[in-house]
Structure 1
Amino acid sequence: MNPGFRRFLILLAVFVAAFLAVFVVRKMQDGSSLMDIITGRDSASDNGNFTLLEKPALNLKDVQVMAAINAESAALVKAVVPSVVSIDTAGVRHERFRDIWGRTWVQPRAVQGQGSGVIVTKEGHVLTNHHVIQGNPRIRLTMHDGSVHSAKVIGSDPAVDIAVLKIDGKGTFVPLKIGDSSKVEVGNIVFAVGSPFGLGETVTDGKISAKKRTFSDSRVDLLQTSAAINPGNSGGPLVNILGEIVGINSRIYSTDKKNPGFQGISFAIPSNAALKTMKDILARGRPIRGFLGMAFEDLDPYTRQEFGYKGQDGIRIVGLVPGSPAMKAGLKEDDIIISYQGTDIDNMRRLIDLIQQSEVDSKVTMEIWREGAKHSITATVGEADNFNQRILRNEEEKATQRLDTQTVLTTIGLVVRNPNKDEISKGVRGVVIDRILPDSKLRGKLLTGDAIRAVNGRPVQNDVDFNARLAASASVQNTELEIHRGQQSFRILLSPVTAK
């Protein structure tokens, strides 16, 4: 054989072998097996053939309980969502700031808000949170069917964080029944309905995780739940398995203050507190507070030793308003109140809340400790506003004996200022304590830099508003201040300022 032709055949054999090797490798990369290549079967042609299962993994009879729960949950949601509305608000907020020359300016800024609400009457009354509509006069409601209505604010209570709206115009409104939150038990299943982030109707479920959660800026103890809520859910209903409202969703717990989000803990205002507030607003145009007319303080070890009191609960009465329901009932200074309507009293905040939530003219029973023995006292609850107005009228008749504003403020010893631009950007509201006078009894209790947000539960607007209301209140009655210090909030009670 010609040597040249032999070399040609060898090169051709090498080329063919290389080509076949590359072909086999590529086929195997595409998922073909060596046998598929040898037999000439193309596995890619099988990709168009598939067989789906026609039966589920379990039969319906195997999961009858879960199927029933599934169907009942869907039925509950279908019955509830037509009563839930999405709330959009718009208004103008006036912000104070100082320029580089130290001058103070007020600049209006358009603000918008978003929340939820629930229809509770056939006439179109809607319950929501006070903070959803606060400072925003233009309110628009989007209903379940997509229709849009305007609404007006009938009244609100910042201390309970409840507002009552009325849908403008006539229509067929589908209300939800307000349930009895006192019957709610830890572990009960609940559903939260609202419009988180403005997404529209959203339903989450969870359980009642705890009851009687106390917050410094709330007059009522809240329900804690595991139902997921987020910004926009505020004001929506928390319902039980019967579709009854047992709470109004109001807040979440979040470690991220700048961008709060659900972390497994949410809170709702009990329906009983929301219903009482609504009835008061519809009947009187404002919230009604119960009143007994006492000043008191928490017990400390020294007081317990001084009076020989060894009980765990209780608060001490340190003053009584003349002619008040408490005085008429026979309560005295240095009495230790142990329980109120069967509820143990472990701090004065709890007693203040219980008294203010009590129905006016209702009779309440208190267990007290006096001079080594327990006694039962029954008192008739009065109305705080009526009693305060009567005190003011009496004081006006005695104007010559009344302390002037400057004397009251000097005696209390607080000098306040409006928050600066930097403090406002950090969320500081109300007024800031600039100085505490040397003779003030509040030294050690309050600090410079503390923010005072409310006087007797009403938000403070500015330093002039604060001084006027503090002087008017402290000259005739006990006065409560809401204090914010960093991330902490608490309240202190000032005794009336009297002439020396």
Structure 2
Amino acid sequence: MMTVMMTVVSVAYWRWNSRVTEKNVSFRSEVFTLAQQPELKEEDIPVLHQLNEEYSRVARLVERVLVSIDTTGVTSVPQPSEDGDFMVEKRLTVHGLGSGVIVTEEGHIITAYHVIQNKHALRVTLSNGKSVSVRLVGVDPELDIAVLQVENPMTFTPLPFGNSDEIAPGMIVLACGNPYGLGTTVSRGIISARERKLVDSGINLIQTDASIFPGNSGGPLINIRGEIIGINKSVLPNAEKNYAGIGFAIPSNLVMHSFEQICKHGRPMKGYLGLDIVRNTPPLRSFLDYHEAGGAVINIVKHGSPAEQAGLQTGDVILSFNEVPIQTDEEVKERIENLSIGDKFRLKVWRKGQKMNVTLKVGDSILKNVPSPWEDFMEGVGMHLRELTAEEQSIGARGLLVIQVNPKKSVGQILQAGDMVFAVNHQSVSTKEALVKALREGPALLTVSRDGQQFNVKVDARPVSEKTLLPRIPEATKGNAIIPHEL
């Protein structure tokens, strides 16, 4: 028995010792020799070596002025109620990321307005990792620019602005920011194009293939001299497609002008004329009975604007600007963009076969959102309309376009956005003043077109005490409909 046990133990020890020996063999010391010198020396690739050093030098310049911005806000999200019968709003806390760039020795920071929009808390971190408190100086929502200032007393060494009018496709740029909260990041690319317009932006943007991702917004676009030539804004808005390499930045000349206005006045002091100008196309020429290819067409004139006060009308053709002949709409827009509040200029326009001179004075953009008396009146009625542009009229559209209705008003339960009001009391109507005049005088019959069908709507916009209350029509889509007293 003892012999058997000793045999078993010996075999077990032998097997264990064999495994240990195998392991020891697998980890035996190896002989290796690493390459000690690169095959290419700096003198072999002088251009690449110099380029490498210069990229690194420009990147180091950016690091000292780049900041990351963490934001906190509250948003309302519609959700079904507990019983599922209706929707309720639930308030949720949302966090965001963005970037900014220090542009003054006093610590003024420029970032994108959409980074801080509707946010109640900001945490700004400098490139050295230090968090600082900031105050909001002002914003330019139209340009998508916001200006902050570091409240802690300290001195900064900012980067200068470059001239964005001098950029050209192919020029090398660096896009800098804080993508995905990773920290200071620099990506290299070129200017792909200039003067790009997005659907949601009326300004000319710089297009670049330097990578711009979430968190890069508000960071600087830098040229090879270390100058700020743009502020990173966005990429093409389509989550279903990969648009990496198609980024957009706000040109530095626009940014600098807005920044100076915000610092001096607390807001961007932008000129306002209240007109929209379009290219002189063959359909417009045919509609206007104008036979020249040059000039620019006034597409729409806003009521109460400096353009209307000067006597301009939809369909006028601009022939010259301060005695300089005009060939395209872009020529007019470029000249207008360089004007300031209070500036005066002269236009020569063609209207229905006649030429006339008009003098305009640039107004303050703050006035463009002030509602006119007719807008206040139509707000009480429960609907908003606009006149048709020259382009819309050139394709045969007539009347006034309903752009918004109040569903709490009776008119909002019958009319809807997109309806076309083309007659009042059986008379053609094309101006809002004519419609308001008819509504003020008493019950008015509106002839409306929707999806190729016509129906009449009776509207009584007089004060309730003056009205004869009419029976309510529960629903009307065609034929005759009557809107009762609730207006």
- TM > 0.5 between the two? yes
State the SS of the aligned residue for 1:160: coil
State the SS of the aligned residue for 1:60: coil
State the SS of the aligned residue for 1:208: strand
Note if 1:435 corresponds to 2:416: yes
TM-score, L = length of structure 2: 0.65
Note if 1:48 corresponds to 2:22: no
> How does 1:229-244 map onto structure 2 within 5 Å?
229-244=212-227
Distance in 2 (alpha carbons) for counterparts of 1:137 and 1:440? 43
State the SS of the aligned residue for 2:44: helix
Letter in 2 for 1:147: K
Note if 1:413 corresponds to 2:413: no
> How does 1:269-418 map onto structure 2 within 5 Å?
269-294=250-275, 299=280, 301-305=282-286, 306-311=288-293, 314-316=296-298, 319=301, 324=306, 328=310, 334-337=315-318, 345-346=328-329, 355=336, 358-362=339-343, 379-386=360-367, 403=377, 405-407=379-381, 409=383, 413-416=402-405
Per-residue CA deviations over 1:211-253 (Å, capped at 9, x if unaligned) read 0111122231100001111111111000111111100001113
Structure 2 residue aligned with 1:421: none
Cα drift, residue 134 of structure 1? 1.0
Structure 2 residue aligned with 1:203: 186
Cα drift, residue 51 of structure 1? 3.5
Q: 2:298·2:313 contact (CA, 8 Å) conserved in 1?
A: no
Identify if the C-alpha distance between structure 1 residues 52 and 340 changes in structure 2 by more than 3 Å, giving closer, same or farther. Answer: farther
Letter in 1 for 2:380: Q
Structure 1 residue aligned with 2:108: 125
Identify if the C-alpha distance between structure 1 residues 344 and 249 changes in structure 2 by more than 3 Å, giving closer, same or farther. Answer: farther
Q: 1:196·1:231 contact (CA, 8 Å) conserved in 2?
A: yes
Structure 1 residue aligned with 2:166: 183
Per-residue CA deviations over 1:169-217 (Å, capped at 9, x if unaligned) read 2122232212221111111111111111100011111110000111122
Distance in 2 (alpha carbons) for counterparts of 1:164 and 1:156? 6
Identify if the C-alpha distance between structure 1 residues 165 and 318 changes in structure 2 by more than 3 Å, giving closer, same or farther. Answer: closer
**Larger deviation: 62-71 or 232-241?**
62-71
Distance in 2 (alpha carbons) for counterparts of 1:321 and 1:177? 41
Structure 2 residue aligned with 1:218: 201
Identify if the C-alpha distance between structure 1 residues 358 and 404 changes in structure 2 by more than 3 Å, giving closer, same or farther. Answer: same
Q: 2:191·2:207 contact (CA, 8 Å) conserved in 1?
A: yes
Cα drift, residue 338 of structure 1? 6.4
**Larger deviation: 200-209 or 370-379?**
370-379
Q: 1:336·1:369 contact (CA, 8 Å) conserved in 2?
A: yes
State the SS of the aligned residue for 1:413: strand
Cα drift, residue 47 of structure 1? 8.0
Distance in 2 (alpha carbons) for counterparts of 1:199 and 1:318? 47
Structure 1 residue aligned with 2:59: 77
Cα drift, residue 104 of structure 1? 4.6
Structure 2: segments with no counterpart, 5+ residues: 1-25, 386-400, 408-413, 424-435, 441-461, 463-487
State the SS of the aligned residue for 1:79: helix
Per-residue CA deviations over 1:111-167 (Å, capped at 9, x if unaligned) read 100010000111111111111111111101111111011222222222211111112
Structure 1: segments with no counterpart, 5+ residues: 1-43, 419-432, 443-470, 476-498
Distance in 2 (alpha carbons) for counterparts of 1:336 and 1:93? 46
Per-residue CA deviations over 1:389-427 (Å, capped at 9, x if unaligned) read 6x96xx6xxx9x984533472655345579xxxxxxxxx
Q: 2:107·2:156 contact (CA, 8 Å) conserved in 1?
A: yes
Structure 2 residue aligned with 1:168: 151
> How does 1:144-163 map onto structure 2 within 5 Å?
144-163=127-146
Per-residue CA deviations over 1:440-463 (Å, capped at 9, x if unaligned) read 369xxxxxxxxxxxxxxxxxxxxx
TM-score, L = length of structure 1: 0.64
Identify if the C-alpha distance between structure 1 residues 378 and 52 changes in structure 2 by more than 3 Å, giving closer, same or farther. Answer: farther
Identify if the C-alpha distance between structure 1 residues 366 and 233 changes in structure 2 by more than 3 Å, giving closer, same or farther. Answer: farther
Name the % identity. 34
Distance in 2 (alpha carbons) for counterparts of 1:52 and 1:437? 75
Q: 1:139·1:152 contact (CA, 8 Å) conserved in 2?
A: no
**Larger deviation: 359-368 or 232-241?**
359-368
State the SS of the aligned residue for 2:45: helix
Q: 1:94·1:106 contact (CA, 8 Å) conserved in 2?
A: yes
Q: 2:212·2:244 contact (CA, 8 Å) conserved in 1?
A: no
Q: 1:135 is matched with which residue: 118, 125, 149?
A: 118
Structure 1 residue aligned with 2:475: none
Identify if the C-alpha distance between structure 1 residues 255 and 413 changes in structure 2 by more than 3 Å, giving closer, same or farther. Answer: closer
Letter in 2 for 1:195: N
Q: 2:280·2:294 contact (CA, 8 Å) conserved in 1?
A: no
Distance in 1 (alpha carbons) for counterparts of 2:123 and 2:229? 25
Structure 1 residue aligned with 2:73: 91
Cα drift, residue 314 of structure 1? 2.5
State the SS of the aligned residue for 1:231: coil
Q: 1:113·1:132 contact (CA, 8 Å) conserved in 2?
A: yes
Distance in 2 (alpha carbons) for counterparts of 1:90 and 1:239? 28
Q: 1:360·1:383 contact (CA, 8 Å) conserved in 2?
A: yes
State the SS of the aligned residue for 1:72: helix
* Larger helix share, 1 or 2: 1
State the SS of the aligned residue for 1:77: helix
Cα drift, residue 336 of structure 1? 1.7
Distance in 1 (alpha carbons) for counterparts of 2:185 and 2:348? 46
Distance in 2 (alpha carbons) for counterparts of 1:208 and 1:365? 37
Per-residue CA deviations over 1:295-349 (Å, capped at 9, x if unaligned) read 6566553431243334277323555767836765x866643236879997458xx
